[in-house]
Amino acid sequence: MLYSFLRPLAFTLDPERAHHLAIEALRLLQLAPASLPPPTDHRLSQRLWGLDFPNPVGLAAGYDKNAAAPLAWPALGFGFAELGTITAKAQPGNPKPRIFRLEQDEALINRLGFNNDGAVAITRRLKHVLPLGHSHPIPLGFNIGKSRVTPLDEAESDYVMSLEHVFPFADYLVVNVSSPNTPDLRRLQEPERLGRLLDLLQTRGRQLAAAAKLPQKPLLVKIAPDLTDDEVREVARVSQSVGVCGLIATNTTTTRPQLRTTVTEEGGLSGKPLAARACEVLRVLYRAVDGKLPLIGVGGIFSAEDAYARIRAGASLIQIYTGLIYAGPLLPRQIVSGLISRLTHEGLRHIRDAVGKDI
């Protein structure tokens, strides 16, 4: 109720300005001497990829692009958080304005373009926030993408550079080949290019893990909702063939499905209008991997009902971003509480019993 009162005030601000203020508040929150732990329950906690997730609700990449507040997310109720997208080279992103609210649709359009401080500067800061050798309160993923100035044919070395810098701090790594806001980036989802890139990153990850005497860190791939179902299946095949640990469905869409708002802005659409296609891509992926790879569902999740539907469609974990902006900072805890209620209602002992139940 408090957020419903404050949201109109926040929405009078430019979207990017409001986002910057939220990140600054979260940076202060993580300095608090005793942070709130994330909510958990034995029915929701999972061990995936050798990592312990206290609950299945995660922060999607794109919110904390510079990994500025990695320790704040548990206090909001998140069971894990994905930071970035981080690129090898610092870049300002696309010209402003570049974020647009579609309030009637509970959606956003963004064409930020991987604006971030670059892998070197970000990891230099992280050394003070996330001391090496210390476990994190919740699993932290790092999402890496291609620098805009790097030609497509040199993308592999660009991703490797980012991986090398964020590797010591990451619990898992995500290869972003699906943002619509970097020219030609989505061509990296083509089977031959994707296979080469993922194989190289897997190899380099193994080398770094061996040198540090650590287990190999999980590598995941985030895909676009605008692929055809056959292309989705091909991404799953290639990813499995090189030993990728999981897939994330989906990134934002360049389509404009059934919008109430008249828009002419280019960029990736997120929020409620994305939900149907994001869920369908998840179903296609779950069938394609035969339930053998953990999947993360993201896109248009605003409630426990939305999250549970994504879990029943094949997701072991879910992520939110736009829902956080429209529903407020209590949304992660509300989803966790709602998921427990749904398991109780259906007589299920654990969240894993619901994964893929509709397939």
CB atoms within 10 A of CB 324: 20
Please name the residues in contact with 240: beta carbons below 8 A apart, sequence gap of 6 or more: 289, 292, 293
Please report, to the nearest 10 degrees, the dihedral formed by the alpha carbons of residues 68, 71, 73, 79 taken in order: 130
Q: Reduced to 3 DSSP states, what percent helix, strand and coil does the chain have, rounded to the nearest 5?
A: 40, 15, 40
Catalytic residue chosen out of the listed positions 147, 178, 179, 239? 179
φ, ψ dihedrals at 202, nearest 5°: -60, -45
To the nearest 10 degrees (0 to 180), the angle between helices 191-211 and 155-166 is 30
Is position 179 annotated as part of the catalytic site? yes
- Rounded Cα gap, residues 321 and 63, in angstroms: 7
DSSP 36: P
Q: Is the Cβ–Cβ distance between 53 and 79 less than 8 Å?
A: yes
| Of 199, 192, 187, 195, residue with least CA distance to 224 | 187
| Of 355, 342, 344, residue with least CA distance to 312 | 355
DSSP 253: B
Whether residue 12 is preceded by a cis peptide bond, meaning omega within 30 degrees of 0, is: no
Catalytic residue numbers read: 179
